[in-house]
Structure 1
Amino acid sequence: MLLPILRYFICCWGLVLVLLPATLRGQSPTAAAAAKTIIPGRLVFKLKASTGQQRNIPENTRTPVLNAALARLNARNVRPKFPLSAAPDARQPGAVNLGLIFQADLPTALPVEEACQALRKTGAVEYAEPLYSYPMLYQPNDPLSDSTLASGQYYLKNIRAYRAWDISKGDTSLVIGIVDAGTRLTHEDLKSQLQLNRLDPIDGIDNDQDGYVDNYYGWDFADNDNNPSRDPSSVHGILVAGCAAAAPDNNKGITGVGFRCRFMPLKIYPSTATGSFGGYEAIVYAADHGCRVINLSWGGVGGRSRFEQDVITYAAVNRDAVLVAAAGNTPAELEFFPASYDHVLSVATLQPSDERSTNATYSRRVDLSAPGINILTTWGDTDTDYMGVGGSSFAAPLVAGAAGLLRTHFPQYNAAQIAAQLRRTTDNINALPGNVAFAGRIGSGRLNVLRALTETAQQSARVISRTTAPARRAYAPNDTLRLAVTVQNLLSPVTNLTVTLTSLSPYVTVRQGTFEVGALATLAQRGNATAPFRLAVAASAPLNTRAVLRYRLQDASTGYQEDQYETLILNPDYVVLDANDLHLTLTSRGNLGYDGLGSDVGEGVSYRGSAPLLAEGGLLIATPTARVTDNVRNDRRSNDQDFTALVRAGILTQPLRADQEAYGVLQDSLPGLTNGRSVGVRVRQRGYAWAAAPHRDYVVLTYTLTNLTTDTLKPLHVGLYMDWDLPGEPGRNVATWEAGRRLGYLYDPAKPTYYAGVKHLAGGQASVYSIDNQAPAGAAVRLADGFNTAEKLLTLSSGTSQQTSGLPAGTDASQVVGATLPRLAPADSAVVAFAVVVAPSLAQLQAAADAAATRYQQVLPVRPAQGIAVALYPNPTTGRLLVELPAGPATVRVLSALGQQLQEHTAPTGHSIQLDLSAYPAGVYVVQISTAGGVTTWRVVRQP
């Protein structure tokens, strides 16, 4: 990963020096957001606490299922990630157990996301994630004036550092961890500030027995050695260290904000081809080795990581360290990590005028701002050089240095209290012209170290935990939810604390938003679990909306007021059918469970709260001419992207045919636009779930296919690819087919905890193809090297010739259950329907499949491919009946069981009509529909 990082570094340098005026170098308004990248050949996973509480003993804490999965992945060197981490203390609410986190090395050709998915499916891990590399946030500038003059460090005046040093000059016992690109051990303004580990001198022995040999000067986590000196290509860590901890009173260079505080250099960027980013490992080391402040001047966009949040929580809560991070150098509203994680002080960049820097990232997650333009600091090409630089990388260590002063002056404060004191004593700069538009998104104000050290009567409460019910990653239109919070008072006591929740989004309504907390002593906590906040999502919420909620914490008796923010994701590009025991994710592009192999978009398929049961699932459509359309895995280590969403997946607010009804429309391209690779169909997908027994173990999926081409599709194959991985031993499954029920399913022959499969309900001739995912080279279908077009066509077009896989002992199996339609004329439509079924026993699976077939015939009848495209529901009905008609005029008649005509209606082209049977007694009636294509009849049950 070294070369991409260097390219980023060099590109930023060139952009700054060539394109920008001298006064604004480093302030590119068009800079792309720095993004994290996956480190290949490595992953981390965290054991569920219930799988074993012994720490750091791999074979004792891992289950046999997990060990088998690691073996199938050819994982090597599986070891505790943090073997020397401290166990959580029961007196520390929210502390984490890093002893349950393990790291594994993988074959370099194996996609890391695929391996993570395989471990998640075992049900033994809380999470499995890639490790990421983050770029530095370095934006260099021209040299400024003589660094020995006060004018050279204007920012010390802005943040009131000179007067603050009259109150506290820090202490050499206070160590700031500089987690960055290494340092220059001999620089005149840094060498005396190094925190040396005198318990482990350089002699080839781990004298202090901390697991690191000769870590006298610190550690290089990128190259795994004891040399934290910077790589010749990067001075970033030296620049950051100078801002926080350059030596004072030595008649040389500059002074760091932390004054007497020392720093520990921890190198996280590689100097060798085999090295890799080591930022989060360095955070744990810093926290375990006495750093009470840790600076992180790096980061990127790309979403949250539970592993990374665990590391942050460990350092901040378990080890009581103040973490300070750069908010980013992209002029956009972004969640930027690690700055946006919980327990991190996020610092945005200001100009010398205290106005927001033109390239500063802003967001509700920013805690405060600090100067970040023309920051004079140690350079490091020689032992006596200095440079003016710009960017949030250099705003953050000013705050880290200030935190060091506060930790010395207020030894009784914990890390959360230090962060609160820094937030509460900033100078409000919202009214400045350059800041008005960004109020609330550049933090509480500009850092003021003097106020932070002297204003000891501050009040600050904080929402420290949140629980939503139902617990989901995202919320659909019309969802309602409850939000329970725990509030802690961090500083001076409050007597009449109120928390008011307000939505800053038009798509979320707060129906109950007040929490009367009352009086809270310092560090006391109180929650509203008995009367949580209540919220509702608007029906009109756009796709993937990020809705911001504001907690306003107030004490009317003292005038205290402080805001905190929460983000909800609304209207994701999938829906979850969860009305019964089977919870199934249906995406807008025809996939089931997740939006592709390795994707975290979706909530999987689970049964009665189980771990995810389905690794990958999705719709396949094909013709004999090797035209195949799907969005599942391919043979290029990615997913096909044939379907696009015309109508995004959603949940009907007033379902007529089921307790829960999902819908969506997707389409592939016409064959002429893809050189004959695609089929040319539009698909209306529907999902139905019922809450009452005996219908709690299945979800019905129907697909209405319309031929968009000018040719008859003859035949047309349709199926569901389902890569089931059942709890117990995912590599020990048998796939089989029950022809009488048209039911394909998988189970573990040694320990059948779950049976899971797909039943063909209607449309065409049923087919099945059972796949051995571990098939050797030369097999007709071999998923080890991907799922190519020819293999997909084979699984759809082979009838029922491949009914079983894995007998007798089991294998890593999957299955395609499908149907073959003899023909589909241009502009014609046909319906194919399946039921996804899961149960704890074979008998219950079979009963659920039979119940699905009965319910389908009663409620969701559809025509055969050559018939008339009509839908009629609900059936049975208590009176009201909706009839969806095909293109062209139609006549609809209602007949009694004896054939007497009771009603007649004429409908124009393509209309739907409503029939009212409420005037008739309970019984069986016939609905007759006449069109140009013929006559079809339906039996309707009128219930009392």
Structure 2
Amino acid sequence: MKNTLRALFFYLIIGLGQAATALATPPTIPGRLVLKLRPGQAPAALEAALNALSAHGLRQKFPHTQAPNPERPGSVDLRQIYQVELPAATPFDRARAVLLGTGAVEYVEPLYTREPLYQPNDPRADSTLTSLAASQFYLKQIRAYRAWDVTRGDSSIVIGITDGGVRLTHEDLRQQLKHNYADPINGLDDDGDGYVDNFTGWDLANNDNDCGYDITIIHGSMVAGVAAARTDNGLGIAGLGNQCRFMPLNIYPNTPTGSFAGFEAVVYAADHGCQVINMSWGAIGGYSRFEQDAITYAAVNRDAVVVAAAGNTNADVLFYPASYDHVLSVSGVQSTDQKSGSGTFNHRVDLVAPGISILTTQGYHTVSASGVADADYVAVGGTSFASPMVAAAAALVRWQFPQLTAAQVRARLRQTADNIDALPANAAWAGRLGTGRLNVLRALTENPREARVIASTFLPARPAYAPGDTLRLAVDVQNMLLPVAGLTVTVTSLSPYLTVRQGSFAVGNMATLARATNFSAPFRLAVAPSGIPLNATATLRYRITAAGGFQYDQYVDLMLNPDYVVLDANDLNITLTSRGNLAFDNLAGTVGAGLSYRAGGNILSEGGLLLATTPTRVSDRLRSSGGQSRQSFFSLRQATRQQPGPRADQEARVAFQDTIPVAGSRVRSVGVAVRQRAYAWATPGRRDFVVLEYSLKNLTADTLKPLYVGIFADWDLPNSNGAARNAAAYDSARALGYCYALAGPAGTPAPMAYAGVRLLRGGAPAVYSIDGGAPAGSPIRLADGFSLAEKFLALSSGTARAQRTAGLPNGADVSQVVGTRLARLAPGDSTTVAFAVLAAPTLAQLQASADAAATVYATVLPTRPAALAATDFRVYPNPTTGPLRVEVPADFGLVEVRLLNALGQVVRRQAAAGHLLDVQLGSLPAGWYVVQAVGRHQIMSRAVAIQ
């Protein structure tokens, strides 16, 4: 059973290898996620949130890891990372929102599975290399024979092989294993490291001590042979590591309860004495802070040299784990030093090594063709086998230069590689194959120099930069090897859309391991004002030079002209996408800057516009079911930002629409074009809100009656006890739906966040509060998705389900829909609906901001009433000394007239009927006021001056 499951898993990922190169993210482990607690937080802070998710099995992922060391800047604390099991049907986006909403969690991520990079040697495709396949030609190519004259390493240097299981009995591997004599096979954890009988490595994927041979996965045996096959035994091949040993660590599951464990194996290897760790596996994309933390722990906390295969994609893509910080990324070349046909190339590649027809141990046949047991060999190709060459070279360097840190070993290997960019065959990849092809002899005998940029800080820090933005770039530089004189860092833009206005940093002389920064005088950059493609990547090149001819190039990327804008003029920073979403453009929360308040973390997990006319005609880009989202809206014009704008300190413009329904089709959209405007102010009294205005045009041949319009907001407000304890409420006097964080247990401080949405303009208000923990059978239950019928219900229920008690008494992950009902919208006609998105520390401040937003909308922004009301809604005389007549359209259905002062406070209200009302304002102080006419289905406002 174990072998069968392992075979199924292996051949599944190998069979999908070519298709996977087109995917943005690798597959994940269902029902399992990883989270990191913030410093000072305890697992108890998650109890309520985990209960709400029906989660179980919360456990510390790395309980035995080393604490951060202040003498190693940049080291991380893996003891705050936990793993948790969820019901398989739980959408990741919901789990992420609930857990982040506790305020106790730094990040929540799925656990990715990463592929082994084995590439079969196809004889037809590789027919010209047949003669090479019978020998270890690559040892001469990388100068291994001469390097062994300098050192052959030592058995105390251990290379961690994180891969599939290894055939432990192979004639060229069995004597190279690193055994843990402190924990012999006796059923006890003799060395107290948390693992029982981990005498020969460990199977991290299945949590047992059997990391040995499996007939269906031989990748680990082949990788181990390249790095560490026995030398001078008169048998088979010679591993480059020579006398260095290896530790086998299985990372692929072969039991029903097993799962991919590549990064757990990296941590294990670092904690168990591996000075070098090899990773011949990975996938395109899927950047993970958890995975980066594991790498940083191994490389910085534990000072291990971490090496990874750059991938077999033949493309310029980021490939993880090779593209993480602190990793030596290794691509492949042929015997002629030309890039191998499948090798990945990018600016993150550090160096290359032979990756075609690599003769190594196979570990597949019990008896070889010659009749000898455990003696089979095979020639294979791929960066999987270039990577262990570099890992073995790192092991030799560690033995020869024990005083060097892991970062210095990486630097020495980079700077002693043979540059191959000048080869005509490599012209297309120049600058994207690292510093060159591995040369082990040079790495052991020369005294190179390397100063490098170890950190880049963009100010202001943003996920992407808009046309016309200016920014600063501060770098931290460290000299890794020999002292250098006259060091200079020059930054150059390789993109026509990004200009460097000040790009030179004269560092001067630097001793070994010295650091310097230009933070007080950073580089200055400017984004082109126009003509930039959407989501364009701009590359900056750091050219580092010093006296004596030293030159080294590094690269850093940033995104320009994103398909969203961020309004950040005041205390409420909000992302607006080109397709109607707020905060983020995807459910994973990776595209966009979110919604934050007063420099805090994101407080809106998901938000966006909702339109509906029937339970089956709904338009949105919100969650649906199965972790997916609807895609009703498509962009008509990229979101743009103007700063300052004609009416506000920042203004945004967006245009999008949904599909026009056709009779007889299955299209379930409404058929409306949307022009969205957004306004933000930096002035006092206007810093806690952003106004969103939507102009809606009916594109269909039918009258939409009625048309429902609303904003969905899944708030995640931080609270003092760290649990997902939010509640929802409704202020009917203001048409304001809001959420707030509940106070914690006795003795803990009160919550510090309120957030909500106020209807400023439209028809009859609608507010629907949704409890994230609603049981099965509830009218709306987000735990199993958000259906069209549920979205229509939330929009069309008026205020009957405002649910002032949603989330009470214990708190929950609550959401709200705040919207309006428009009685009709004829074909070709347009109407306008407006909302204010608000946040504040207290309810009183939230209400004051809601009133201020109404005042600003009525007095600062020009009102654009519907065509019917444009000439029929009047207030006169204006200015007035006291008497005022209010006149509304005959079919308006006037209910009440309110008067608001400049602070947005209601100072006078009077019931009304018909279409005329006379009021006396002479008793009020002189100044500007807002008259609100409240009808059955809408509210209209006019500014008036009292003299």
Question: Percent identical across equivalent pairs?
Answer: 58
User: CA 1:591 to 1:376, structure 2 compared with 1: closer, same or farther past 3 Å?
Assistant: same
Q: Work out which of the residue numbers 438, 443, 447 in structure 1 matches 2:434.
A: 443
- Residue pair 2:133, 2:379 contacting (<8 A) in 1 also: no
Distance in 2, matches of 1:846 and 1:150, equals 76
Verify: 1:806 aligned to 2:805, yes or no: yes
Distance in 1, matches of 2:25 and 2:848, equals 50
- Residue pair 2:179, 2:200 contacting (<8 A) in 1 also: yes
In the TM superposition, 1:84-483 aligns within 5 A as 84-141=64-121, 152-382=135-365, 383-456=374-447, 458-483=448-473
Distance in 2, matches of 1:777 and 1:402, equals 59
Distance in 2, matches of 1:821 and 1:230, equals 69
Deviation at 1:794, TM superposition (A): 1.3
User: CA 1:30 to 1:157, structure 2 compared with 1: closer, same or farther past 3 Å?
Assistant: farther
Report Cα offsets for 1:143-184 as digits up to 9, x if no partner: 999999997011111101111111111111110010000100
Could you tell me which residue of structure 1 aligns to residue 43 of structure 2?
A: 62
Q: Work out which of the residue numbers 52, 57, 61 in structure 2 matches 1:81.
A: 61
SS at match of 1:803: coil
Distance in 2, matches of 1:868 and 1:522, equals 76
Deviation at 1:731, TM superposition (A): 4.1
In the TM superposition, 1:409-808 aligns within 5 A as 409-456=400-447, 458-540=448-530, 541-555=532-546, 557-624=547-614, 626-672=616-662, 674-728=665-719, 731-750=724-743, 751-806=750-805
Report Cα offsets for 1:351-408 as digits up to 9, x if no partner: 1111011211100000101110000000011310000000000011111111111111
User: CA 1:937 to 1:853, structure 2 compared with 1: closer, same or farther past 3 Å?
Assistant: closer
Distance in 1, matches of 2:682 and 2:488, equals 40
Distance in 2, matches of 1:667 and 1:2, equals 48
User: CA 1:461 to 1:349, structure 2 compared with 1: closer, same or farther past 3 Å?
Assistant: same
Distance in 1, matches of 2:783 and 2:23, equals 36
Tell me which amino acid in the other structure corresponds to 1:62: P
Deviation at 1:114, TM superposition (A): 2.6
SS at match of 1:417: helix
Tell me which amino acid in the other structure corresponds to 1:421: R
- Residue pair 1:35, 1:299 contacting (<8 A) in 2 also: no
User: CA 1:584 to 1:491, structure 2 compared with 1: closer, same or farther past 3 Å?
Assistant: same
Report Cα offsets for 1:858-892 as digits up to 9, x if no partner: 2323333344899xxxxxxxxxxxxxxxxxxxxxx
| Larger deviation, residues 514-523 vs 104-113 | 104-113
- Residue pair 1:326, 1:392 contacting (<8 A) in 2 also: yes
Report Cα offsets for 1:78-122 as digits up to 9, x if no partner: 121111111111111111111121111222221234312321222
User: CA 1:752 to 1:381, structure 2 compared with 1: closer, same or farther past 3 Å?
Assistant: closer
- Residue pair 1:35, 1:300 contacting (<8 A) in 2 also: yes
Tell me which amino acid in the other structure corresponds to 2:275: R
So what's the TM-score if we normalise by structure 2?
0.86
Distance in 1, matches of 2:103 and 2:640, equals 28
- Residue pair 1:734, 1:806 contacting (<8 A) in 2 also: yes
Tell me which amino acid in the other structure corresponds to 2:777: G
Distance in 2, matches of 1:185 and 1:547, equals 48
Distance in 1, matches of 2:673 and 2:810, equals 38
- Residue pair 1:230, 1:267 contacting (<8 A) in 2 also: no
Distance in 1, matches of 2:105 and 2:461, equals 19
Deviation at 1:645, TM superposition (A): 1.3
SS at match of 2:825: coil
Distance in 1, matches of 2:169 and 2:838, equals 68
- Residue pair 1:733, 1:806 contacting (<8 A) in 2 also: no
Distance in 1, matches of 2:619 and 2:8, equals 35
Report Cα offsets for 1:709-742 as digits up to 9, x if no partner: 1111111110001122221166433322222211
Report Cα offsets for 1:441-495 as digits up to 9, x if no partner: 0111111111111112x11011112222222222222222222221110110011
Report Cα offsets for 1:607-638 as digits up to 9, x if no partner: 11223222221110011363111111124442
Distance in 2, matches of 1:379 and 1:200, equals 29
Count of residue pairs brought into register by the alignment: 852
Report Cα offsets for 1:528-568 as digits up to 9, x if no partner: 1111122222233322222111111110x211000111111
Deviation at 1:686, TM superposition (A): 1.5
- Residue pair 1:85, 1:98 contacting (<8 A) in 2 also: yes
SS at match of 1:96: coil
Deviation at 1:132, TM superposition (A): 0.7
Q: Which runs of 5+ in 2 are unaligned?
A: 366-373, 744-749, 872-926, 929-939
User: CA 1:503 to 1:747, structure 2 compared with 1: closer, same or farther past 3 Å?
Assistant: same
- Residue pair 2:476, 2:517 contacting (<8 A) in 1 also: yes
Verify: 1:816 aligned to 2:817, yes or no: yes
SS at match of 2:276: strand
Report Cα offsets for 1:486-526 as digits up to 9, x if no partner: 11101100111111111111121122211111111111111
- Residue pair 1:585, 1:594 contacting (<8 A) in 2 also: yes
User: CA 1:699 to 1:29, structure 2 compared with 1: closer, same or farther past 3 Å?
Assistant: closer
Report Cα offsets for 1:190-230 as digits up to 9, x if no partner: 00100011111111011111111001110001111001114
- Residue pair 1:699, 1:835 contacting (<8 A) in 2 also: yes
Report Cα offsets for 1:775-816 as digits up to 9, x if no partner: 223222222222111111111112221222426525422211
| Larger deviation, residues 817-826 vs 732-741 | 732-741
SS at match of 1:69: helix
Distance in 1, matches of 2:314 and 2:870, equals 53
- Residue pair 1:745, 1:758 contacting (<8 A) in 2 also: yes
Deviation at 1:937, TM superposition (A): 13
RMSD: 2.5
Could you tell me which residue of structure 2 aligns to residue 909 of structure 1?
A: none
SS at match of 2:282: coil
Distance in 2, matches of 1:29 and 1:703, equals 41
Distance in 2, matches of 1:30 and 1:753, equals 45
SS at match of 2:850: helix
| Larger deviation, residues 747-756 vs 212-221 | 747-756
Deviation at 1:274, TM superposition (A): 2.1
- Residue pair 1:174, 1:261 contacting (<8 A) in 2 also: yes
In the TM superposition, 1:750-899 aligns within 5 A as 750=743, 751-806=750-805, 809=809, 811-812=811-812, 813-867=814-868
Q: Which runs of 5+ in 1 are unaligned?
A: 14-27, 53-60, 871-922, 925-935
Distance in 1, matches of 2:341 and 2:160, equals 29
Tell me which amino acid in the other structure corresponds to 1:837: L
Distance in 2, matches of 1:500 and 1:85, equals 40
Deviation at 1:33, TM superposition (A): 6.7
- Residue pair 2:153, 2:399 contacting (<8 A) in 1 also: yes
SS at match of 1:91: coil
User: CA 1:150 to 1:394, structure 2 compared with 1: closer, same or farther past 3 Å?
Assistant: closer
So what's the TM-score if we normalise by structure 1?
0.87
Could you tell me which residue of structure 1 aligns to residue 919 of structure 2?
A: none
- Residue pair 2:91, 2:626 contacting (<8 A) in 1 also: no
